[in-house]
Amino acid sequence: MSQVTIYHNPRCSKSRQTLELIKEQGIDPDIREYLKEAPSAAELNQVLISLGISARELLRKNEQEYKDNNLSNPELSDAQIIEVMVANPKLIERPIVFKNGQARIGRPPESVLEIL
């Protein structure tokens, strides 16, 4: 079986629920607390490819950092948004589960079952 990885924030209820759901499937995932170990720009680019979404779609729009960095500006490129997410990983939607080059955001947690 391929390894499963989760970008996890233990303070987030959806992240905790998703991790529990993975474990209920008999999987012991690699856990990356992305707020402590922020992904690089290259890693985030790969995340976006795996999810099939734009950088803007990965943003948590209710965070203060979203407003502080003017991320609602439609002129910003994916590269510019990724740069802000690297510096402020709190802006990255969570949790994200990876397996076999595929990824799903655990909102709702059950959505990750598609790739497990």
Q: What's residue 1's pLDDT?
A: 46
Is residue 39 in some structural domain?
A: no
Banded pLDDT at 72 (limits 50, 70, 90): very high
Query: What are the C-alpha distances in Å from 72 to residues 67, 69, 110?
Result: 7, 9, 29
Q: Where are the alpha helices (DSSP H) in 1-116?
A: 13-24, 41-51, 64-68, 78-87
pLDDT tens digits for range 77-91: 999 999 999 999 999
Is residue 108 in some structural domain?
A: yes
Alpha-carbon distance of 22 to 29, in angstroms, equals: 7
Q: Which domain holds residue 21?
A: 1-34+94-115
Report DSSP letters for 67-81, one per residue: HHTTTT-TT--HHHH
Which neighbouring-strand residues pair with 8? 33
Total count of domains within the chain: 1
Q: What is the CATH number of the domain that holds 20?
A: 3.40.30.10
Alpha-carbon distance of 57 to 36, in angstroms, equals: 22
pLDDT tens digits for range 15-40: 999 999 999 999 999 999 999 999 99
Q: What's residue 14's pLDDT?
A: 97
Active site residue 8: no
Alpha-carbon distance of 70 to 61, in angstroms, equals: 11
Catalytic residue among 12, 35, 51, 113: 12
